[in-house]
Chains A and B, each alone.
Chain A
Amino acid sequence: MTSEASDLQPRFPLYIPSKGRSEYMMTSTVLTEMGVPHYIVVEPQEVEAYQRAVAQRGLLTTVLTLDMSYKDRYELCDWHGLSKSTGPGPARNFAWDHSVKLGAAWHWVMDDNISKFCRLHQNRKVRINSPAFFRAQEDFVLRYSNVAMAGPNYFMFAPRKQAMLPFVTNTRIYSCNLIRNDVPRRWRGRYNEDTILSLDVLKDGWCTIQFNSFLQYKLPTQTMGGGNTQEFYHREGTLKRGGRYADNGTLAKSRMQVKVHPDVSKVVWKFSRWHHHVDYSRFKAQKLIRRKDIETSKAPNNYGMELMPVEMSKSKPRL
């Protein structure tokens, strides 16, 4: 990394809502190795456990206590009230408001089970251990006046050998979201809050940007204890011995998606579990609009990132 470190730090605050995973703190570990300070949002009864873990592991994490009234006020999009888990939505809304109070124009909010961030280039998916991962994406979205949300694609959805564009517009942004704070929307839904918010902003006329040039490696849903796995999927479905996914564990989730955005969603059975299929094609006509006050260079800017062998890196090898 040759550029000034402060030039590479994210402009906007980062938040990780987490529950029942103080012993893992996977995303916090990765961010710490990247040298990126961040917040973690946890429920009051877990604050001590998380603070202890942060201190023991020397993480660059500030623990924020979730204001539980966010749960009472949360729009769950079903009739079960607080008898079932609310999911991460209330904590994400808390993070949004927290960043507004900090005076930030945007904020990042991400899942707590991201194990690495990567770049895709020349058919190779190489891990990034630089805060430039966030800064570069921020700089890109700031070129436009009508982007509401952006974020990296999933590692598994970017085949290494397949020709791909550096980004696609107007689709779902999931698990690691850069959100414009003045968008007049908030997270909602007990499940699918990523898809619901993406559709909410797209229907309002905004654009979204999903990067293929930047990727996140996230543990598959339902494979790590705590979080939604504990809260929804295994509780609502039956986990067969040796199986990864609970039967019917995702059905309620998919049904909710169809209920909230019926015009673009349907439930399908695929890859041994229920999924929701969303048709984003109607949003393809929404085009990015460049801000006139932003000048961009035509030459590549690698933000000081250099490729080097893992053994010379400060960070540990990852999956």
Chain B
Amino acid sequence: MKDLSNIADRLHFLAVPLKTLSHDPQNARRHSKRNLDAVRASLEEHGQVKPVVAMPDGTVIAGNGTLEAARSLGWEYLAVVTFMGDAHAARRYGVQDNRTAELADWDDDALASILSDMRTEDADLEALGFSDVELDRLLAEAVPLSLGTTDPNEEYRGMPDFEQPEASGIRMVIHFANQEDRSMFAKLIGQEFTPKTRSIWFPAVPWDRASKEVYE
């Protein structure tokens, strides 16, 4: 007796044995593992709810991913609509079928809203074909509260001490007409200048001893 339990009731009359179907050797669409995992997840969850399209000889021209996923699931039947055009028309249809889907864009806001609702319902989001990082990004945009803060100082709590106050100081350039004036200025502020002195701090700042210390 035929086991058609994986196929939607209204498609039962289209069911053919899987072994009579074959992949289109000229199919220009490649199915990655991730793609096939997503198709498989969908078939497992919903069963087959739309038919694949095949030539009368069983060559699938639209739905090669579904065929491969169904095989890997051990299915024996698949619902098929037979394409009645010639080989040339079949090839055109195969390209159009893939390309039309590819040309559509996601409305990220709407998608994020749907995913957000699903997450509230504890649905398995990974089976939708989105990677963790894609889901995280979409959901983060949809549910700002899930982001936490992006203030680095706030995020950094619980880590080693880090405070880095602005200490660049205020800069100004002082010109001396001659060496005598330079020496007089040094005496005035109580500092010693060497011939190589190019900048100073006032009041004088002790030399940083960072190179003399270490965190063990």
Query: Given the complex, which residues of B lie within 8 Å of A70, measured CB to CB?
Result: none
CB pair B161–A313 under 8 Å, yes or no, is: no
A165 with B215: CB separation less than 8 A: no
CA distance A163 to B165 in the complex (A): 5
Which of the candidate stretches B41-49, B64-72, B206-214 sits at the interface with the other chain? Answer: B206-214
**Cα separation A1 to B210 with both chains bound (whole Å):** 18
Instruction: State which size class the interface on A falls in.
Output: 35 or more
What's the count of A-B pairs with C-beta under 8 Å?
Answer: 150
Selected interface stretch from A83-91, A231-239, A243-251, A298-306:
A298-306
A125: chain B residues at CB < 8 Å are 210
**Counting CB contacts under 8 A, is B197 at the interface?**
no
In A299-319, the 8 Å CB interface with B consists of 299-303, 305-310, 313-315, 317
- Measured CB to CB, the closest approach of chain B to A132, in angstroms, equals 8
B216 touches A129 (CB 8 A): yes
Q: Which of B63-94 touch A at CB < 8 Å?
A: none
Which residues of chain B are within 8 angstroms of A307 by Cβ–Cβ distance?
213-215
Instruction: Chain B residues near A132: list those with CB within 8 A.
Output: 160
Interface hit among B6-14, B147-155, B185-193: B147-155
Residues of B within 8 A of A119 (CB): 160, 215
Distance in Å: Cβ of B151 to nearest Cβ of chain A: 9
Give the contact stretch, choosing among A41-49, A93-101, A204-212, A221-229: A204-212
Query: Do A145 and B132 touch across chains, with their CB atoms under 8 A apart?
Result: yes
A180 to chain B, nearest CB (A): 10
A168 at the A/B interface (Cβ < 8 Å)?
yes
CB nearest to A122 among chain B residues: B163
Contact among B147, B150, B164 with A123 in the assembled complex (CB-CB below 8 Å): B164
Per-residue CB proximity of A120-149 to B under 8 Å, as 1/0?
Answer: 111111111110100010011001011010
Shortest Cβ distance from residue A304 to the other chain B in the assembled complex, whole angstroms: 9
User: 0/1 per residue, A278-304, Cβ < 8 Å to B?
Assistant: 000000001111100000111111110
Interfacial residues, chain A to chain B (CB-CB below 8 A): 1, 119-130, 132, 136, 139-140, 143, 145-146, 148, 159-169, 204-206, 212-213, 286-290, 296-303, 305-310, 313-315, 317
Known: A136-B160, A309-B214. 14 other contacts (CB 8 A): A1-B216, A121-B162, A130-B215, A145-B133, A166-B153, A204-B133, A290-B148, A300-B157, A306-B215, A306-B216, A308-B215, A310-B211, A310-B213, A313-B216
Q: List 15 A-B contacts (CB under 8 A).
A: A121-B160, A123-B167, A136-B159, A159-B168, A160-B167, A163-B165, A165-B153, A169-B152, A288-B148, A296-B157, A298-B157, A299-B157, A305-B215, A308-B213, A310-B211
